[in-house]
Amino acid sequence: MTWANILIQGALVGGFYALFACGLSLMFGVMKVINLAHGDIAVVAAYSAVFLVPKLHVAQLWAFLVVVPLFALIGYVVQRTLLQKAIDRDPFTTLLVTFGLSVVIENLLLEIYSANGQSVNIGELVAKSWQVNSVIYVSDVSLVVLGVAVLVLGALQLFLSRTSSGRLIRAVSDDREAAQLCGANYKHVFGVAAAIAFATVALAGIAFGISTEFDPTAGGINLLYAFEAVVIGGIGSLWGTLVGGILLGVAQQFGAHFNLEYQTLAGNALFLIVLAVRPQGLFGRRVSLNE
């Protein structure tokens, strides 16, 4: 029964990792930008839910209605200004710029909100859980987050494979130059992809803020988990990211079962094994962003 519990809890936390990671995967897949500020953007979204949303007289539970569209807009603008300028120079510049962005965000948050822990307050809902049997409890919030992750990844996959905007994103990620010669304004397409990435990471940030206490430095570790989920699943593959997230979650729960200190270690070990045995990730070839 313990093993079933490890699997279930691992899958639940894995859903969160996948939700967190899909924006990272998308930005890398389309723009070839590794966004080192990805985790910090999620943390800013969580702070927005705590401090900005109540000012608009909206309950924190409904924060995503405000924060997600706001971050989509921010994503578009950041891409068209800061990131596009970096891309125009060379790929390494994007690493430096996003790293710089990460440092700036962390320090601004420390300056404004101090290092005190915060959390998104959704009232009693956070404590609700569903008892499977005498050993296994499933937290409602985790279950909802897993459901949202599956929904978001599925919708994104459908959007990319079935709609003309999605086709355009795939074309630009395939060959920017050729897409331009077909009359596509790739910079706008990059903006749209960044908007989607920022929207999903904002959603993940709020989910994170609901389930855990966070502070301005929380972005780093989440970025690491997101990276691991993406690499385990295979870069550019959305379903791969979901599977990667879930495997990472299960590995961590497995480690934690023996000793709480082994939680992160077990995840890292899985990450290393995949990297050594199958560097393209589990779904690196079969299902890709450019399906």
Q: Which residues bind another protein (CB under 8 A)?
A: 164, 167-168, 170-171, 174-175, 177-186, 288, 290-291
Give the C-alpha separation, 272 to 263, whole Å: 15
Half-sphere exposure in the Cβ direction for 121 (13 Å, CA): 10
Closest CB to another protein among 73 and 178? 178
Residues 6+ apart with CB under 8 A from 254: 6, 10, 266
CA-CA-CA-CA torsion sign (122, 123, 127, 129): negative
Task: Report the 10 Å Cβ neighbour count for 290.
Answer: 15
Minimum distance of another protein from residue 164's CB (angstroms): 6
Closest CB to another protein among 70 and 184? 184
Closest CB to another protein among 169 and 274? 169
Closest CB to another protein among 128 and 285? 285
Residues 6+ apart with CB under 8 A from 215: 115, 116, 117, 118
Give the C-alpha separation, 240 to 164, whole Å: 23
Minimum distance of another protein from residue 49's CB (angstroms): 37
Minimum distance of another protein from residue 135's CB (angstroms): 46
Minimum distance of another protein from residue 172's CB (angstroms): 9
Closest CB to another protein among 88 and 140? 88
Hey, what amino acid is at 170? R
Closest CB to another protein among 140 and 175? 175
Closest CB to another protein among 179 and 235? 179
Give the C-alpha separation, 230 to 227, whole Å: 5
Q: What are phi and psi of 175, to 5 degrees?
A: -155, 100
Closest CB to another protein among 128 and 167? 167
Minimum distance of another protein from residue 196's CB (angstroms): 19
Task: Evaluate whether 190 touches 30 at the Cβ level (below 8 Å).
Answer: yes
- Residue 28: both structure tokens together: 């890398």
Minimum distance of another protein from residue 85's CB (angstroms): 16
Minimum distance of another protein from residue 236's CB (angstroms): 10
- Residue 24: both structure tokens together: 């990272």
Minimum distance of another protein from residue 215's CB (angstroms): 42
Give the C-alpha separation, 149 to 249, whole Å: 14
- Residue 46: both structure tokens together: 């969580």
Task: Evaluate whether 45 touches 31 at the Cβ level (below 8 Å).
Answer: no
Residue matched to tokens 């929380």: 218
